[in-house]
Amino acid sequence: MYNAQTYLLGANRSCIRELSEFGRSRAQVVGRENVFDYSLGNPSIPTPPQVTEAIYRLLAEMDPQQLHGYTTSVGDFETRKAIADDLNSRYGSAVSPEELFIGCGAAPELCAVFKALAVPGAEFLAIAPYFPEYKPFVESAGGVFKVVPPDVPDFQIPMDALEARITPNTAAVIVNSPNNPSGVVYTEETLRALAALLTEKAKQYGHAIYIVADEPYRELTYDGVVTPFLPLIYPDTVVCYSYSKSLSLPGERIGYVYVPKDACDGRELYLAIAGAARASGHVCAPSIWQKVIAKCAHLRPDLAVYDKNRRALYQGLLECGYEAAKPDGAFYLFVKAPGGDARVFSDRAKEKDLLVVPGDGFGCPGYFRVCYCVSYDQIRRSLPIFKLMMEEFSR
Ligand code: PLP
């Protein structure tokens, strides 16, 4: 006997993984340089040298027992203090170490937050296009997953559609900005309108409606665009942050949850999140990475490589006649599929070893996602294939 639901999650490989595996096997046949794989959001800029130096220093200088030992489950105080100081210096906020929980990246942090908020019948709203893992995360926490349709073509938040889906059972709205897959950054105006709507609805229903801010891409913005710090706009916000993308550390599993003490039931919610993590087997985040972050929380990525790719690809695709959402953040372009069916487009592109992800799994059919954390050369050499595809679909 086994759990049929978790079996299905394990057995059904995601379309993204399948595409990237296809890319790897094709590379062995036609050569790596002839496969134009835009499927995976794996950071392609190196980890900042200060991070590497911090690891060497820790290994050389720290007592190994202390370095590799268990930490407290909420994380080292020094790490939480360094993160709080960094947030406060950037945003003029008043974050304290006691409001931070050091987790193993955004994915398990989101799971703990959903579990902590999942009272019976609790509904969680995701705004399309959305990160597909939200659905299994919410459902395995015991919540009900609901989707707000996309605000095409700008991919901000469609307030009327969102309002129509808020019920007395709404526990939280998941906000992911900069967004995977659209690359769009929600404007301050959008977020203020969202805050006003949720404040009104919370009052109407007599309980808090939280924002769960999923922010692995917070620092990945371009052309001077900034990601507003949501807790300053809407106090009932729980932030799930990750260093996977900002410091190019996706395999190391380190991030944090911020639960403002002034949020509704802030302290209780913090403890409920710690308890949910505990119930899922969380012991502590990797000790060595906590100590690295204590020294490196102030570092920002050098985005020059992503920015060069972004400009070249966006401009190149527009010149071929494609339409895409304005890519202000993350490392994704979300492109309208010529012919209207992104699965058909993706399948035909695959025949030319051009790998793009149909938007269906992100709750947004008709668009495809392109991850531009790849080499510049790949972009340059793939543009003629995108052009060919456009010509084929325009016939
Ligand atoms: N949320 C979004 C929107 C993501 O794109 C990802 C990873 O790609 C995650 C969460 C999970 O990130 P982490 O590596 O921090 O678990």
Say if CB 287 and CB 75 are below 8 A apart: no
CB neighbour burial string for 330-355, b if at least 16 within 10 angstroms, e if fewer: bbbbbbbbbbebbbebbeebeeebbb
Q: Which ligand 1 atom is nearest residue 105's CA?
A: 15
The Å distance, Cα 248 to ligand 1 centre, comes to 12
Q: Tokens in use for 354?
A: 């051009």
Query: From the CA of 277, how far away is ligand 1's center (Å)?
Result: 17
Contact 302, 248 (CB under 8 A): no
Q: pLDDT value at position 48?
A: 96
Ligand 1 centroid to Cα of residue 392, in Å, is 34
**Measured in angstroms, how far is the CA atom of residue 100 from the centroid of ligand 1?**
19
- Ligand 1 atom, smallest distance to 176 CA: 3
From CA 205, how far away is CA 233, in angstroms rounded?
21
Phi first, then psi: give them for residue 246, nearest 5 degrees. -70, -35
Q: Among 184, 215, 227, 244, which residue has the most ligand 1 atoms within 8 Å of its CB, making it the best to mutate?
A: 244
The pLDDT of residue 357: 97
Q: What single string gives the DSSP state of each residue in 98-163?
A: GGEEEESSHHHHHHHHHHHH--TT-EEEEESS--TTHHHHHHHTT-EEEEEPP-TTT-S--HHHHH
The reported pLDDT for the residue numbered 395 is 83
Pocket test for ligand 1, best of 127, 245, 369, 373 (most atoms within 8 A of CB): 245
| Atom of ligand 1 minimally distant from the CA of 250 | 14
For the record, the structure tokens of 61 come out as: 């200088």
Q: Which residue intervals of 206-338 are DSSP H helices?
A: 230-233, 266-279, 287-296, 304-320
Dihedral of the CA atoms 226, 227, 233, 236 (nearest 10)? -170
Ligand 1 center from residue 250 Cα (angstroms): 9
Structure tokens at 329: 């953040």
Q: Which pLDDT belongs to residue 14?
A: 85
Measured from the CA of 243, which atom of ligand 1 is nearest? 15
Q: Which atom of ligand 1 is nearest to the CA of 242?
A: 15
The secondary structure of 197-241 as a DSSP string is HHHHHHHHHTS--EEEEE-TTTT-B-TT-----HHHH-SSEEEEE
Question: pLDDT digit of tens for each residue in the chain (395 aa)?
Answer: 999 999 999 998 888 989 999 999 999 999 999 999 999 999 999 999 999 999 999 999 999 999 999 999 999 999 999 999 999 999 999 999 999 999 999 999 999 999 999 999 999 999 999 999 999 999 999 999 999 999 999 999 999 999 999 999 999 999 999 999 999 999 999 999 999 999 999 999 999 999 999 999 999 999 999 999 999 999 999 999 999 999 999 999 999 999 999 999 999 999 999 999 999 999 999 999 999 999 999 999 999 999 999 999 999 999 999 999 989 999 999 999 999 999 999 999 999 999 999 999 999 999 999 999 999 999 999 999 999 999 999 88
Query: In angstroms, what is the span from residue 43 Cα to ligand 1's centroid?
Result: 11
Tokens read off for 226? 């900034």
Q: Which residues line ligand 1 (CB under 6 A)?
A: 41, 105-107, 131, 176, 180, 214, 216, 242, 244, 250, 255
Query: Is residue 292 helix, strand or coil?
Result: helix
pLDDT for the residue 326 = 87
Locate the ligand 1 atom nearest the alpha carbon of residue 108 and give its number: 16
CA-closest residue to ligand 1 atom 12: 106
Inter-residue contact 220 to 301 (CB < 8 Å): yes
Test site for ligand 1: of 214, 247, 373, most ligand atoms within 8 A of the Cβ:
214
Distance, CA of 166 to CA of 197 (rounded, Å): 10
Strand, helix or coil for residue 367:
strand
CA of 83 to the centre of ligand 1 (A): 19
Place of tokens 């949910």: 276
pTM as predicted: 0.97
Question: Which 3 state secondary structure label does DSSP give 253?
Answer: coil
Contact 362, 149 (CB under 8 A): no
pLDDT for the residue 13 = 81
